[in-house]
Structure 1
Amino acid sequence: MKISIPFLGVLFLVTACSQPQKSSEAGDAESAQSKFAHSPLVEHIYTADPSAHVFEGKIYIYPSHDIETEVEEDDMGSHFDMKDYHVFSMEQPGGEVTDHGVALKLEDVPWASRQLWAPDAAEKDGKYYLYFPAKDKEDIFKIGVAISDRPEGPFTAEPEPIAGTFSMDPAVYQEGEDYFLLFGGIWGGQLQWYEDQKLVEGRKGPTDGIPADEEKALMPYIAKLDGSMTELAEQPKEILILDDEGNPITAGDNAKRFFEAAWMHKYGDKYYLSYSTGDTHFIAYAIGDSPYGPFTYQGNVLEPVEGWTNHHSIAEFEGKWYLFYHDTELSGVTPLRNIKMAELTHLPDGKIQTIQPVN
Structure 2
Amino acid sequence: MKYAFSLLLSLFIISNQSLAQNPLDFGSDIRTADPSAHVWPDGRLYLYTSHDEECQLDFWMRDWHVFSSEDLVNWTDHGAVLSVEELSWADNFAWAPDAAYKNGKYYFVFPAGTGFKDRKNPENSTKWMGIGVAVSDSPTGPFKDAIGGPLWREPYANDPALFIDDDGKPYLYFHGKDFDYYVAELEDDLLSVKGDFIKMDMGGYEPKMEGPWVFKREGRYYFTMPENNRVLTYYMSDSPTGPWDYKGVFMEQEHQSNNHHSVVEYKGEWLLFYHRWLETPESDCKARKRQRHSAAEFIEFNADGTIKPVQRTAEGVADFANRIKRN
TM-score bucket (shorter structure)? 0.7 to 0.9
What pairs with 1:187-206 in structure 2 (closer than 5 Å)?
191-192=177-178
- Alignment CA distance shift 1:102-1:271 (3 Å): same
- 1:314–1:323 CA contact under 8 A, matched in 2: yes
| SS of aligned partner of 2:212 | strand
Distance 1:165 1:143 in 2: 10
- Alignment CA distance shift 1:58-1:140 (3 Å): same
What pairs with 1:35-46 in structure 2 (closer than 5 Å)?
39-41=22-24, 42=26, 43-46=28-31
Cα RMSD (Å) of the superposition?
Answer: 2.4
The alignment status of 1:59 with 2:45, answered yes or no, reads: yes
Give the aligned partner of residue 228 of structure 2.
Answer: 278
Give the aligned partner of residue 81 of structure 1.
Answer: 60
| SS of aligned partner of 1:107 | helix
Distance 1:290 1:64 in 2: 29
Give the aligned partner of residue 244 of structure 2.
Answer: 295
The alignment status of 1:183 with 2:174, answered yes or no, reads: yes
Give the aligned partner of residue 102 of structure 1.
Answer: 80
- Alignment CA distance shift 1:92-1:136 (3 Å): same
Q: 1:260 aligns with which of 179, 189, 210?
A: 210
- Alignment CA distance shift 1:331-1:268 (3 Å): same
Give the aligned partner of residue 224 of structure 1.
Answer: 185
Distance 2:261 2:56 in 1: 27
Amino acid at match of 1:238: K
Identity of counterpart residues, as a percentage? 36
- 1:118–1:133 CA contact under 8 A, matched in 2: yes
Give the drift of 1:232: 1.0
Distance 2:56 2:71 in 1: 38
- Alignment CA distance shift 1:354-1:260 (3 Å): same
Residue by residue over 1:155-180, the C-alpha shift from the partner in whole angstroms, topping out at 9 and shown as x without a partner, is 11131111366411000111121111
Amino acid at match of 2:280: S
Amino acid at match of 2:84: L
Give the drift of 1:241: 2.1
- Alignment CA distance shift 1:335-1:226 (3 Å): farther
Distance 1:45 1:220 in 2: 33
| SS of aligned partner of 2:85 | helix
Residue by residue over 1:57-93, the C-alpha shift from the partner in whole angstroms, topping out at 9 and shown as x without a partner, is 110001110113463xxxxxxx011100111101123
The alignment status of 1:160 with 2:116, answered yes or no, reads: no
- 1:147–1:155 CA contact under 8 A, matched in 2: yes
| SS of aligned partner of 1:173 | strand
Give the drift of 1:51: 0.6
Give the drift of 1:336: 2.6
Q: 2:33 aligns with which of 48, 63, 75?
A: 48
Give the drift of 1:125: 2.2
In structure 2, list runs of 5 or more residues that go unmatched. Answer: 1-12, 116-125, 282-287, 315-327
- 1:113–1:139 CA contact under 8 A, matched in 2: no
Give the drift of 1:260: 0.3
Give the aligned partner of residue 320 of structure 2.
Answer: none
Larger radius of gyration: 2
Amino acid at match of 1:267: R
Paired residues, what number? 277
Distance 2:308 2:31 in 1: 28
- 2:279–2:290 CA contact under 8 A, matched in 1: no
- 1:143–1:165 CA contact under 8 A, matched in 2: no
- 2:265–2:271 CA contact under 8 A, matched in 1: yes
Q: 2:302 aligns with which of 330, 337, 347?
A: 347
Distance 2:90 2:290 in 1: 21
Give the drift of 1:266: 1.0
Residue by residue over 1:38-71, the C-alpha shift from the partner in whole angstroms, topping out at 9 and shown as x without a partner, is 6111352000001100012110001110113463
Distance 2:181 2:81 in 1: 27
Distance 2:161 2:29 in 1: 26
| SS of aligned partner of 2:183 | strand
**More deviation in 283-292 or 158-167?**
158-167
Q: 1:130 aligns with which of 108, 118, 137?
A: 108
TM-score (normalizing by structure 1): 0.72
Distance 1:70 1:233 in 2: 37
Distance 2:188 2:94 in 1: 25
In structure 1, list runs of 5 or more residues that go unmatched. Answer: 1-29, 72-78, 186-190, 195-218, 243-247, 251-256
- 2:263–2:273 CA contact under 8 A, matched in 1: yes
Amino acid at match of 1:51: S
